[in-house]
């Protein structure tokens, strides 16, 4: 059975993520121990709420450096929701806050209006996943087996990741004419703005693929 160490820094849907991992056929272990993170086969970084409390708490608990060190091992690393946003250089939510810098880019607000029209913020609900322009598909990624435009996942967010390199965008979701960055991929790191643990069969497939990495 594949074991997933979930980084427990006190913020995130820890128990719903744990249950989803177990439903996918894995063993979930919550950990706030740097040594356990270093020895893990794969880790999951969760996060909910505002960016600054998440990144500050991750650092205050002494877990930011172990997470960075794990990322450098090349072993499978999954980020979810604000756990995805923390991987970027910085966020502009309530001021500028520095992130982990694992994926070059930043986090910015979803515009309430633009040339495409107006939209309610936050973006809450189910949205189909789409293949970004320039990407051939999702073979050999955590979205292997998903159907573009059909497979839907659940979102709750007001801020959106903006990778410096568009090739890092693994999936998008259209939100009233705005292309949400739904997932990113860089080397051994994959992260989702949506919540796989709340996304039914599509989310379960993502977690099953992660367990097979």
**Residue recorded with tokens 């709340």:** 198
Nearest to 50 by CA among 14, 12, 21: 12
Q: Is 194 a catalytic residue?
A: no
- Give the CA diameter of the chain: 49
Choose, from 81, 161, 181, 194, the residue flagged as catalytic: 81
Question: Which residues neighbour 161 within 8 Å (Cβ) at sequence distance 6 or greater?
Answer: 84, 85, 88, 103, 105, 106, 107, 181, 184, 193
Residues 6 and 28 sit within 8 Å (Cβ to Cβ): yes
Determine which helix (DSSP H) or strand (DSSP E) holds 161, and give its type and residue range. Answer: strand 159-163
Pairwise CA distance, residues 66 & 43, whole Å: 11
Q: Which of 54, 123, 195, 208 is catalytic?
A: 195
Cα angle, residue 1 at apex, residues 4 and 152 outer, rounded to 5°: 60
Residue 195 known to be catalytic: yes
Is 54 part of the annotated catalytic residue set?
no
* Candidate list 93, 185, 197, 208, residue with the active-site label: 197
List the catalytic residues.
81, 195, 197
């Amino acid at each position: 059975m594949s074991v997933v160490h979930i980084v427990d820094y006190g913020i995130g849907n820890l128990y719903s993520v744990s249950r989803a991992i177990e439903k996918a056929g894995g063993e979930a272990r919550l950990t706030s121990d740097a040594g356990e993170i270093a020895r893990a086969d794969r880790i999951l970084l969760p996060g909910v709420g505002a960016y600054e409390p998440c990144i500050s708490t991750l650092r205050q608990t002494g877990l930011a450096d172990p997470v960075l060190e794990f990322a450098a091992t090349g072993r499978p690393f999954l980020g979810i929701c604000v756990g995805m946003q923390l991987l970027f250089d910085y966020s502009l939510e309530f001021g500028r806050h520095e992130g982990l810098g694992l994926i070059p880019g930043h986090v910015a607000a979803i515009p309430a209006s633009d040339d495409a029209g107006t939209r309610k913020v936050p973006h809450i609900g189910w949205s189909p996943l789409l293949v970004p322009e320039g990407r051939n598909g999702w073979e050999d990624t955590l979205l292997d087996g998903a159907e573009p435009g059909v497979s839907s996942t659940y979102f709750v967010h007001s801020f959106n990741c903006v990778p410096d390199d568009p090739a890092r965008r693994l999936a998008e979701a259209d939100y009233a004419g705005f292309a949400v960055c739904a997932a990113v991929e860089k080397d051994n790191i994959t992260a989702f703005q949506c919540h796989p643990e709340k996304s039914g069969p599509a989310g379960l497939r993502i977690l099953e693929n992660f367990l097979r990495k």
